[in-house]
Amino acid sequence: MSDLITADLIDLDLTGADRHEATAKLAALLAAAGRVTDVDGFLADVRAREEQMPTGIEGGIGIPHARSTHVTAPSLAFGRAAAGIDFGSEDGPADLVFLIAAPEGGGSEHMTILASLARKLVHADFKTALREAPDAEAVAALIKQNLPG
Amino acid sequence: MKLVAVTSCPTGIAHTYMAAEALEQAAVAAGHEIQVETQGAAGAEALDPAVIAEADAVIFAADVDVRDKDRFAGKPLVSGPVKRGINHAAEMVDEAVAKAQAAPASDTAAAVPAAPAGPKLGPGAKLRLWLMTGVSYMLPFVAAGGILIALAFVIGGAEIATKVNGGAFEGVTYEAITDPTQILNQTGIAGLMFYIGGLAFSMLVPILAGFIAFGMADRMGIAPGVVGGLIAVAVGAGFLGGLAAGLLAGAIVMALKLIKANQAFQGIMRIVVIPLVSVFVVGFIMLVVVGKPIAEAQSWLTDWLAGLSGVNAVLLGLLLGAMMGFDLGGPVNKVAYLFGVGALASGDYTVMAAVMAAGMVPPLGLALATVVRGKLFTQAERQSGKAAWLLGASFITEGAIPFAAADPLRVIPSTVIGGAVAGAVSMAFGASLRAPHGGIWVIGLIGNPGGFIVALLAGTAATCLCAIALKTAWRSEAASAADEAAMPVI
């Protein structure tokens, strides 16, 4: 099983006029790594989820995500957006954006890893460490060491 | 304090787990114990029923329906969207604790499941859970309406129904009450009680259907279920029609919820499209597909009974009694009842006695069964068994519906056999009755009351024995476990 995240799936200077543009940029990283086969199809799935209920969480976090047939391996793309991007949270824009891509019908092993990632996101110290990490390698290492397996 | 929580979200890969983590942190920070069931894509590890039983309060942080939420019936509950669980976990925990402190201790104790009710119920147990949900919401209507009607007969005598609805009774013709506000003046308190009880009874089937659908598809199920139930009443389909309407409505809403609408459409899906489509489809099917054949079957049955006029009296009593017990106020029951009323009008009083005996037996027999073998019945059933004595004694056959709707395959054969026995025995003794209703309260109008009582006792014993035998011999463990967990304490 390949790693959930690698350094080339991280954009520490993420920008975007809105959440869709930011999400599209992260999705392009997934596509470049061969983890998403059809970017437009995948983005449509993410957008459908986002329309149900915005994924922004208080504390500056956006988690666009989808289970999609266009995903080959469970993956995480991460972006840090200094300017903040609105993900529909009431307390303001998100500066930490996690794009979670899960294959449709993914095994429960994969889902367990994603679940433990989601659990980490509510820990203040994890968020602080992500904000302070110096580079993409450090972020990838930080996320990996906080996941099981 | 001990808490349990369920979290869920549409995709089940992110917010479900974030809310679980946040709630766990908040509860522990506040010095409480908590266990969270994450109904997400990683597969829900179900909460141990023992843990649920011990919990002081329940938190739902969920954007989609919590699965098997009946497991938590009777517990103090705080529920909100999944994001509230993430953003304001501490607040939800505080609220749950406050609710637990405000709730009487008995509330939590009563919801202890009798056996481990695994959340992965088989289709049979699931069906039973849905039916039980409908029944549990219907019970107060049965109790209130049935007892009011029974008391109306006790106070006002057998003619009270005719005084309210109009018609002839014992040679006196009454005008129907057209203005309900005048009912107290014109018929006294008994007429008023009869009227209110009748209205409560008219809601039995709609509430049953509405809340079966609610059990299946949550709030969206109520509208099509209730409307389907109203149509079941209108076409005379009785409680079996109501079961069908409720299951149909629930299934349709469940199916409609699966449709992935495009973005522009999604908002109005829940508000307009699902209610509109489900109500129309259920209504259409109930009227056209269910209603018409029932009406045709009824007229066929009526003709068939009329053609039997020369047949042996005991056999006729047996048949009519079986019909009375079959659907407990439904179309078949009605045909038999009207046959009795028709015979009454033409001067044959024995048929009416057989019909009434058979109509009194189902609630009486089941009430007896709850006393003889309480363990075979849920707590709520044992409670409604107490009211069923009075309803049965008053010839309110509907008193058996809560039992039959929750477990039709075992209960209906019992009420059919008991009714048949009562009808046959009553005919054999030649008992007669000059009133179309009233139960034990019109014993003065019964010819050969001793024979009538023997018929009642024989039928009651038959229903009781049959129900116990069927429930003992053919018992689903999952269903019985689900029973105790499902029934909200009333």
Token pair 């849920």 is at which residue? Answer: B378
Q: Dig out the tokens for A45 from the structure.
A: 């799935």
> In this structure, are residues B335 and B322 in contact, taking their beta carbons and an 8 Å threshold?
no
- pLDDT band, very low/low/confident/very high, at B476 (cuts 50, 70, 90): low
Task: Tell me which of A19-33, B11-25, B270-284, B345-359 is least confident.
Answer: B11-25
Q: Which residue has the higher pLDDT, B151 or B346?
A: B151
pLDDT score for B115: 35
- Conformation bin of residue B67: beta by default, left when phi > 0, alpha when psi is -120 to 50: beta
CATH number at residue A43: 3.40.930.10
- Length of chain B measured in residues: 490
CA distance A99 to B14: 10
Task: Tell me which of A98-112, B246-260, B394-408 is least confident.
Answer: A98-112
CA distance A69 to A45: 9
Hey, what's the torsion of the CAs at A39, A45, A47, A48, to 10 degrees? 160
CA distance B114 to B111: 9
CA distance B290 to B232: 8
CA distance B16 to B9: 5
For chain B, what are the domain ranges? Answer: 2-110
User: Do residue A48 and residue B260 have CB atoms under 8 angstroms apart?
Assistant: yes
pLDDT score for B225: 96
Q: A65-68 and A94-103 as β-strands: parallel, antiparallel, unpaired?
A: parallel
B15 at the A interface (CB within 8 A)? yes
Which structural domain, as residue segments, surrounds residue A95? 7-145
pLDDT score for B111: 39
pLDDT score for B224: 96
| Count of structural domains, chain A | 1
Q: A20, A65, A70, A123: which is the annotated catalytic residue?
A: A65
Kindly write down the DSSP assignment for every residue of B204-267, as one continuous string: HHHHHHHHHHHHHHTHHHHHHHHHHHHHHHHTT-HHHHHHHHHHHHHHHHHHHHH----HHHHH
pLDDT digits (tens, 9 = 90+) for B416-446: 999 999 999 999 999 999 888 888 888 888 9
- pLDDT band, very low/low/confident/very high, at B263 (cuts 50, 70, 90): low
Q: Is B290's pLDDT higher than 80?
A: yes
Percent of chain A with pLDDT over 70: 94
CA distance A56 to B269: 23
A4 at the B interface (CB within 8 A)? no
Residue of B nearest to A60 (CA): B87
A93 at the B interface (CB within 8 A)? no
pLDDT digits (tens, 9 = 90+) for A94-140: 999 999 998 886 666 667 777 888 888 888 889 999 999 999 999 99
pLDDT score for B308: 80
Can B9 be counted among the known catalytic residues?
yes
pLDDT score for B104: 62
CA distance B273 to B261: 11
Q: Is B21's pLDDT higher than 50?
A: yes
Find the helix or strand (DSSP H, E) in which B365 lies. helix B349-372
CA distance B439 to B101: 47
Return mean pLDDT, chain B: 85
User: In Å, how far is A15's CA from the nearest CA of chain B?
Assistant: 23
pLDDT digits (tens, 9 = 90+) for B376-387: 888 778 888 988
- pLDDT band, very low/low/confident/very high, at B100 (cuts 50, 70, 90): confident
Token pair 């139960």 is at which residue? Answer: B439
pLDDT score for B122: 67
Return mean pLDDT, chain A: 87
Superfamily of B2-110 according to CATH: Response regulator (3.40.50.2300)
Q: Which residue has the higher pLDDT, B116 or B46?
A: B46
**Nearest CA among A24, A22, A6 for reference residue A14:** A22
pLDDT digits (tens, 9 = 90+) for B313-325: 899 999 999 999 9
pLDDT score for B455: 95
Q: Dig out the tokens for B84 from the structure.
A: 């509230």
Token pair 């009714």 is at which residue? Answer: B419
- Classify residue A2: in a domain, yes or no: no
**What DSSP state is assigned to residue B291?**
I
User: Do residue B81 and residue A57 have CB atoms under 8 angstroms apart?
Assistant: no
Q: Is B32's pLDDT higher than 80?
A: yes
Backbone angles phi, psi at B237, to 5 degrees: -85, -5
Q: Is B77's pLDDT higher than 60?
A: yes
- Classify residue A64: in a domain, yes or no: yes
